[in-house]
């Protein structure tokens, strides 16, 4: 019998006040029910925010190094349970075990990084323009953070947000994706095991309209960190602006790998196969476009097609599988619709382009790894995010044209160029409009201690990961200490008359 899961609010595991539930199923085998989860409503949101607000008042007073100790405990527990969590995640969202292990490892790395930041929430001291006066700026927590996360990295992305939020002294209400609620529950269980006090972290399962938007609208939520689609991100931004909430948006991508005529083609091949078909293409940083110099276009495209045809689909728990399923039927349908749109626009389906069939695939949402040739820069498949195992290939005649095609999209998250010319590499770094640029590696592979995020409609300027995320989860407070024993009126008194 499938497990029955609950929300976690104010230190207790509780059912939704709505009395409703939803099922979570294995996308590789839709007959397998992972569990049933609360389909929460705004009453649940209200209770969670109230608990977080109350807990914040004591949590913010815990010294930051001590909060870092809790994060170190979390890292230790994640390390001990890595394989168990990875297998649970593969059952829940489909990507292969090799990748879910990496997903958990990102959480581990983020936990240990956060633990060290407890002793490094640096401020600034600067000289005062007046005598016997001391000036400093310090970081202070903000309040209640709403954390809203997607399904494709169900451990890594929540840790990118929750760990810095807690380390900085904020309390949290966490709304995970409905496709991956079990991994979210495991994360909360680990935080509690690590010693996080009741109410500091709260978990509310459910849909985006009632729970997600309910959090954004709530007057006692001070900041919102969201990863998901650009359409939803714009709506969140609009709603949050009414109460001037601080909002971090990590949204879509249409990432390109450029292959120049001097590139190491074998290396570029490994990169594009991993970038395009890893996580079944369901990454915001996935290599959705391949931009190839005309001198090597035919040769390299043949290499890509040949090797894409050899990728093995199946249950991600099996060792010989390269590509898992789409996360659900709707996502697979979206992918198939885009492939049909590409063909109608004149792109050639060189391999794939169909719902995958065969042994072990009939009960899951599998789609064949697909390569589209003869794609032109203004086709929809070259400009819009597909979020599936589909690679659109564009031919160009120069570096300048390659960069122009790369920039020809509303998004600007990740980018990549393969070249052995250092001048080309640095021109690409300078001219590509993206938050991330890789040289001689694919568009995926972010590291936990580096900033992560994009430009244009990929986000609103904030960054996750590294030292930069701590700026989002803290306020700067300026402090003046005057020990002169007299009134000093700054610009009035510091200029000779």
CATH code at 255-439: 3.40.309.10
Backbone phi, then psi, for 303, in 5-degree steps? -65, -45
Catalytic one of 284, 385, 406, 464: 284
pLDDT digits (tens, 9 = 90+) for 444-476: 999 999 999 999 999 999 999 999 999 999 999
Which of 164-192 are b and which e, b meaning 16 or more Cβ less than 10 Å from the residue's Cβ? Answer: bbbbbbbbbbbbbbbbbbbbbbbbbebbb
CA distances from 332 to 335, 337, 338, 343, 389 (A): 5, 9, 10, 17, 10
Q: How far apart are CA 65 and CA 338, in angstroms?
A: 49
Q: Is the pLDDT of residue 110 over 70?
A: yes
- Structure token digits, residue 494: 């510091």
The CA distance from 146 to 301, in Å, is: 44
**Full strand arrangement of the beta sheet holding 348-351:** 348-351, 370-373, 390-396, 287-293, 255-259, 414-418, 436-439
Quickly state the pLDDT bin for 320 (edges 50, 70, 90). very high
Reading the block at residue 332, the tokens are: 């697979």
Average pLDDT of the residues in 91-114: 98
Active site residue 250: yes
Pick the catalytic residue from 92, 99, 117, 250. Answer: 250
State yes or no: pLDDT of 250 exceeds 60. Answer: yes
What tokens does 289 get? 């476009």
**Contact residues for 368 (Cβ-Cβ < 8 A; gap 6+):** 313, 351, 352, 353, 354, 355, 356, 389
Is the domain defined by 3-251+459-478 classed in CATH 3.40.50.450?
Answer: no
Q: What is the pLDDT of residue 230?
A: 96
pTM over 0.95: yes
Spans of all domains in the chain: 3-251+459-478, 255-439
Percent of the chain with pLDDT over 70: 100
**Confidence bin at 491 (pLDDT 50/70/90):** confident
Residue 137 has pLDDT above 90, yes or no: yes
């Amino acid at each position: 019998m499938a497990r029955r899961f609950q929300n976690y609010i104010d230190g207790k595991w509780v059912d939704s006040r709505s009395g409703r539930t939803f099922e979570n199923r294995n996308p590789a085998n839709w007959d397998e029910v992972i569990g049933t989860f609360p389909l929460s409503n705004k009453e649940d949101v209200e209770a969670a925010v109230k608990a977080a607000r109350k807990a914040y008042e004591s949590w913010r007073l815990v010294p930051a190094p001590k909060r870092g100790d809790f994060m170190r405990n979390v890292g230790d527990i994640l390390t001990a349970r890595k394989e168990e969590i990875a297998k649970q995640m593969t059952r829940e969202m489909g990507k292969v075990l090799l990748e879910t292990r990496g997903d958990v490892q990102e959480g581990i790395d983020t936990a240990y990084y956060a633990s060290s930041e407890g002793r490094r929430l640096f401020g600034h001291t600067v000289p005062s323009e007046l005598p016997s006066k001391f000036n400093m700026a310090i970081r202070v927590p903000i309040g209640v953070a709403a954390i809203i996360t997607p399904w494709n990295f169900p451990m890594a992305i929540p840790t990118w947000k929750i760990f810095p939020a807690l380390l900085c002294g904020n309390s949290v209400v966490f709304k995970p994706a409905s496709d991956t609620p079990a991994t979210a529950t495991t994360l909360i269980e680990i935080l509690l095991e690590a010693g996080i006090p009741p109410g500091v972290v709260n978990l509310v399962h459910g849909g985006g309209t009632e729970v997600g938007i309910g959090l954004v609208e709530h007057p006692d939520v001070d900041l919102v960190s969201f990863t998901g689609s650009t359409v939803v991100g714009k709506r969140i931004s609009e709603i949050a602006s009414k109460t001037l909430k601080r909002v971090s948006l990590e949204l879509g991508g249409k990432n390109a790998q450029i292959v120049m005529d001097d590139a190491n083609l074998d290396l570029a091949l490994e990169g594009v196969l991993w970038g395009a078909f890893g996580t079944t293409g369901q990454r915001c940083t996935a290599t959705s476009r391949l931009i190839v110099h005309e001198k090597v276009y035919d040769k390299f495209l043949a290499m890509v097609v040949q090797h894409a045809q050899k990728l093995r689909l199946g249950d991600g728990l099996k060792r010989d599988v390269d590509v898992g399923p789409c996360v659900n039927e709707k996502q697979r349908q979206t992918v198939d619709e885009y492939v049909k749109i590409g063909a109608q626009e004149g792109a050639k389906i060189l391999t794939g382009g169909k719902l995958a069939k065969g042994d072990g695939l009939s009960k899951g949402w599998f789609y064949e790894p697909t390569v589209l040739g003869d794609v032109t820069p203004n086709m929809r498949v070259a400009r819009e995010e597909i979020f599936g195992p589909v690679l659109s290939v564009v031919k160009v005649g120069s570096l300048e044209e390659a960069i122009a095609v790369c920039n020809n999209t509303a998004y600007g998250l990740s980018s990549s160029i393969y070249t052995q010319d250092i001048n080309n590499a640095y021109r690409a770094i300078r001219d590509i409009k993206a938050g991330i640029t890789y040289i001689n590696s694919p568009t995926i592979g972010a590291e936990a201690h580096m900033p992560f995020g994009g430009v244009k409609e990929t986000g609103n300027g904030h960054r996750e990961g590294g030292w930069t995320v701590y700026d989002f989860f803290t306020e700067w407070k300026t402090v003046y200490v005057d020990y002169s024993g007299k009134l000093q009126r700054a610009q009035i008194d510091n200029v000779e008359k």
